[in-house]
Amino acid sequence: MKSIRIELRYDPSALSPIHDLLCTDPDLERELILGGQSVEGVETITSFVEGEPDPYESFLEGRDAVREYDVTPTDDGFFLYLRRELGSEGTSLLNALAQETVVVVPPIDVRSDRTMRMTLVGHPSDLGAVLEETPEGVALDVRQVRNDLTVDGAGLSERQEKALEVARELGYYEVPRRNGIEAVADELECAVSTASELLRRGEARAVDSALDRL
């Protein structure tokens, strides 16, 4: 068995309506799909969405394809249970992943930069078939290949990556520190509390990812 970490990068025309919402609404950042299944063209998933629930709920209420949903808010996002009819883009992605020995390991990271990241485990031949059957309008990049079975965390969000990059450029991590959190917040054009939260969560995920690879 092998495990691979892949990134799918979507052309704007290939985005599903929900993924497009994550990319265009400033109150939403990303969605972590925690589990689900597809039966006869109807997908049922549970996920955690980083952001405000109102724009997501407003979107779902206006979609004929949505069978039912339930939202549970938390301090930094909301949990979602959703049943919906799949469009052609969802069906084609599922077909590409439907190889005999391949397992998609949650979470599936749906990001606001038109990308989706996931870990797959299976026989090399079937993993190769997944790479060859990517739907039209989707570019696939293999980010990691391992000969053992492993699961990566969800990784950094786009805003967390940006905050860490800005902090490093400003010397926030130098010893002694060249600039403080206020300078990072100014560069990001956000409140000091927001910049601090982005760095804290980004640092935690970066450390977890680094230690997982040891």
Residue range 127-181, pLDDT digits in tens: 888 888 777 889 999 988 887 665 555 567 778 888 999 999 999 988 888 999 9
Looking at the chain, the whole-number percentage of residues with pLDDT higher than 70 is 89
The residue ranking higher by pLDDT, 59 or 95, is 59
Taking the C-alpha atoms of residue 134 and residue 129, their distance in angstroms, rounded to an integer, is 9
Mean pLDDT (the chain) is 85
Taking the C-alpha atoms of residue 48 and residue 80, their distance in angstroms, rounded to an integer, is 6
Q: What is the DSSP letter of 193?
A: H
Taking the C-alpha atoms of residue 107 and residue 157, their distance in angstroms, rounded to an integer, is 13
> 86 pLDDT exceeds 50?
yes
Contact 8, 148 (CB under 8 A): no
Taking the C-alpha atoms of residue 46 and residue 133, their distance in angstroms, rounded to an integer, is 26
Q: What's phi and psi for 176, nearest 5 deg? A: -70, 160
pLDDT for 104 equals: 86
Taking the C-alpha atoms of residue 134 and residue 99, their distance in angstroms, rounded to an integer, is 13
The residue ranking higher by pLDDT, 41 or 138, is 138
Which H helix or E strand runs over 6? Answer: strand 2-10
pLDDT for 60 equals: 95
pLDDT for 155 equals: 66
pLDDT for 53 equals: 95
Q: What is the mean pLDDT of residues 53-64?
A: 93
In one-letter notation, the amino acid at residue 115 is: T
Taking the C-alpha atoms of residue 181 and residue 198, their distance in angstroms, rounded to an integer, is 11
> 112 pLDDT exceeds 60?
yes
Q: What is the mean pLDDT of residues 112-129?
A: 90
The residue ranking higher by pLDDT, 104 or 69, is 69
